[in-house]
Each structure stands twice: as structure tokens, then as C-alpha cells.
């Protein structure tokens, strides 16, 4: 008899998370459901305690408040995430920048303020955008890898929202594996990672829902068969507002200080690491479909781009993504 897929869900990090899993076929002992849930929640609470911009007592928030010249020793998970973020910032020439917090807050999407959900509101003044950008700059950060410490140059504020959720997914997968659960699908707010397979021997399958498009355009959901892979999506279907007929989304271009102005509605990335898939999706979203697709081809990234156009919407995907779509 084929084992059943078990699951449990909850809320953390401002979103809903779900774990689906199958117990070992050889009946190896594994924790009961309440113990598994408690272990997952401990992992998520650890990420919040270290990387949350909403928790004033998190390691990240304390660094953001630190005076110029202060060296802060980082716990290993936060160091790992920040090291990855700074690597991508350097490789992207600032298209991806973890010091974007002042800009995110200015546009009404940040922590420490009531989120402005008005569907219509004016954008910030150009002078305010320039002032926020002057307080940014990943190049100003000094990371001592030997001591695992980060220097606050003065006024820098980190925001790891574009990578921390993916890291949390990776941590939960590793936690489950350590408890004997190696066949699992973990979803935290739409960032997912699959390990092992379903009880029937089939891969874990997920549906990528198309983003909101213009007119009455409809694109069918894409189904992906995940084999030891993670998937993350960046788009403008959430936390948006309009002014004078223009749509402003929460994904910002650190190089200009403005929300994305191109036609890209969403980009989905597959990678072995959900942390990297999460950050890469943001980087590619900032670049847009043309430059993003060129980069994905150059680096061998599996990526699916959805654009708004005169017909409503269309898809483009990298060579590495094509066989994965076909296989599903």
C-alpha cells in the first residue's frame, strides 16, 4: 500500500507556510506531527530573530541602528545569507542590493511604518528618492569573513526580504531531513523546495499561477515537476498602487530608485537552493525580460518570464527552463 502524503501549515514571517511530506517507506521512526510542526516553527523563528526587518530586536534591526564604525558579529545563518546577498550585489553591479531599505520605506513598502495600501497615491518626490539612494550602497559594507563580522559604515540599513524567505525554506528542508523526513515539499509564501519524491515515486509537482495581466488575457498555469529543486517568483501582482495611469510595484530598481518600469509582470527561477532562487528572481526582475533572459542564458539559469503586451501577456523562457516545462 502506498504511503499517504501528510501535511501541516501555519503562519510566520507575514505569510502562510505549508509542509507536505511522506514518511520513509522502510518505516524508520520519525517524529509525530506535533513534534515536526514544533521543529519547523523553531527554524522559522530563528530566521525571524536574525533577519526580520519588522522585529526591532532582530540581529538585522540592531545592525541597522548601530553607530558608524560598529562591528557586529553575525550568527552563522545571517552570515550565510548576507554573504550570498553581497556576492549577488557585486555580480549584478547593484541591480540587486541588500541595502535598499531606505528606498523600500520611502515607497511605502517597508518596515517600521503602517503599510500604505491605497490603490491610488502619488509617488515620492525626486529629491526624496535621491536622498534615500544616498543612504544606500552595498559597496560601503565591510564583511570580515574570518571573524564573521559586519561593519556599520554609518546610516546603512539592510533589507533581506528578497532572500531570507528562500533561506528559511532551505532551513526547513534540512531540518526535516535531520528528523528522517527526506521526501518533502516546503512552501513559504510561494517560495518552494522539493526533496525526494512523492510516495508513488512521482516527483513533487507545483503549479505556477500566471500574474495579473491587462485586458482579458489568460495564460494557463504552468506545472513544474521538481526534482531536488527550489522555485521562487518575483513579480508585481502584490503590493502595488497606481498614479496617473501608471502601475507602481514593490520591486524597486536600486540603480534608479524607482519601481520597475518595463513590461515584466513576473519571473520564476529554479535552482538547487531556494535562497539563491529567491534572490536571483529579484535580480532578473529588475533587469527585465530582455536583459534578464540574456543573463539567464549566460549563467545557465532556469527562468520563466511573463510580460504584459498589447495582447495582454506572453511568456519567454531560458534554454535551461525549456525541458523542465516540457517534462511537467
DSSP 194: E
Distance CA 315, CA 328 (A): 16
Which pLDDT score is estimated for 327? Answer: 60
Could you give phi then psi for residue 6, rounded to 5 degrees? -100, 160
Which 3 state secondary structure label does DSSP give 287?
helix
Closest CA relative to residue 159, chosen from 252, 267, 92: 252
Question: Which grid cell is 128?
Answer: 526624496
Distance CA 252, CA 234 (A): 11
Which 3 state secondary structure label does DSSP give 235?
strand
Averages of pLDDT over runs of 10 residues in the chain (328 residues) are: 85 94 89 97 98 96 98 98 97 97 88 52 90 96 96 97 97 98 96 96 89 60 91 78 70 91 88 98 95 97 89 86 79
Q: How many Cα atoms sit within 13 Å of 128 on the Cβ side?
A: 12
Which 3 state secondary structure label does DSSP give 315?
strand
Beta bridge partners of 184: 21, 195
Vertex 70, ends 64 and 73: CA angle to 5°? Answer: 80
Q: What percent of the residues of the chain are helix, what percent strand, and what percent coil, each to the nearest 5?
A: 35, 25, 45
Residue 45 Ramachandran class (φ > 0 left, ψ -120 to 50 alpha, else beta): alpha
Q: Which domains does the chain have, with CATH numbers?
A: 1-53+161-195 (3.10.520.10), 67-151 (1.10.3980.10), 203-328 (3.10.520.10)
DSSP 164: H
Q: Which residue has the cell 519571473?
A: 267
Question: Which grid cell is 76?
Answer: 552563522
Q: How many Cα atoms sit within 13 Å of 306 on the Cβ side?
A: 25
Strand 264-271 with 230-235, pairing: antiparallel
Closest CA relative to residue 115, chosen from 233, 234, 240, 16: 240
Distance CA 95, CA 71 (A): 26
Q: Give the CA distances from residue 178 to residues 36, 199, 267, in Å, rounded to whole numbers and listed in that order.
A: 11, 19, 32
Q: Give the CA distances from residue 200 to residues 25, 166, 179, 247, in Å, rounded to whole numbers and listed in that order.
A: 11, 27, 21, 45
Full-model pTM: 0.92
Amino acid at each position: 500500500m502506498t504511503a499517504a502524503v501528510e501535511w501541516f501549515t501555519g503562519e510566520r514571517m507575514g505569510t502562510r507556510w505549508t509542509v507536505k511530506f511522506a514518511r520513509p517507506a522502510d518505516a524508520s521512526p520519525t517524529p509525530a506531527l506535533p513534534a515536526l510542526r514544533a521543529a519547523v516553527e523553531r527554524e522559522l523563528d530563528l530566521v525571524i530573530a536574525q533577519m526580520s526587518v519588522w522585529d526591532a530586536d532582530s540581529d538585522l534591526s540592531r545592525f541597522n541602528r548601530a553607530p558608524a564604525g560598529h562591528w557586529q558579529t553575525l550568527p552563522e545563518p545571517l552570515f550565510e545569507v548576507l554573504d550570498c546577498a553581497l556576492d549577488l550585489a557585486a555580480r549584478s553591479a547593484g541591480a540587486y542590493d541588500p541595502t535598499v531599505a531606505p528606498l523600500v520605506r520611502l515607497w511605502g513598502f517597508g518596515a517600521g511604518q503602517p503599510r500604505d495600501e491605497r490603490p491610488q497615491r502619488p509617488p515620492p518626490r525626486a529629491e526624496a528618492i535621491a536622498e534615500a539612494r544616498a543612504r544606500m550602497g552595498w559597496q560601503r559594507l565591510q564583511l570580515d569573513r574570518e571573524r564573521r563580522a559586519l561593519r556599520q559604515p554609518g546610516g546603512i540599513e539592510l533589507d533581506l526580504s528578497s532572500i531570507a524567505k528562500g533561506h528559511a525554506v532551505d532551513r526547513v528542508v534540512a531540518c526535516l531531513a535531520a528528523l528522517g523526513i527526506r521526501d518533502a515539499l516546503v512552501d513559504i509564501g510561494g517560495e518552494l523546495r522539493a526533496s525526494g519524491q512523492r510516495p508513488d515515486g512521482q516527483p513533487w509537482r507545483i503549479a505556477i499561477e500566471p500574474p495579473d495581466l491587462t485586458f482579458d488575457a489568460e495564460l494557463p498555469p504552468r506545472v513544474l515537476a521538481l526534482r531536488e529543486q527550489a522555485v521562487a517568483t518575483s513579480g508585481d501582482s502584490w503590493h502595488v498602487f497606481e498614479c496617473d495611469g501608471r502601475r507602481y510595484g514593490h520591486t524597486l530598481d536600486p540603480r534608479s530608485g524607482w519601481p520597475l518600469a518595463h513590461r515584466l509582470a513576473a519571473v520564476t527561477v529554479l535552482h538547487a537552493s531556494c535562497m539563491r532562487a529567491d534572490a536571483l528572481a529579484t535580480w532578473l526582475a529588475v533587469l527585465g525580460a530582455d536583459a534578464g533572459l540574456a543573463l539567464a542564458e549566460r549563467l545557465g539559469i532556469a527562468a520563466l518570464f511573463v510580460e504584459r503586451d498589447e495582447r495582454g501577456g506572453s511568456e519567454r523562457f531560458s534554454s535551461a527552463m525549456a525541458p523542465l516545462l516540457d517534462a511537467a
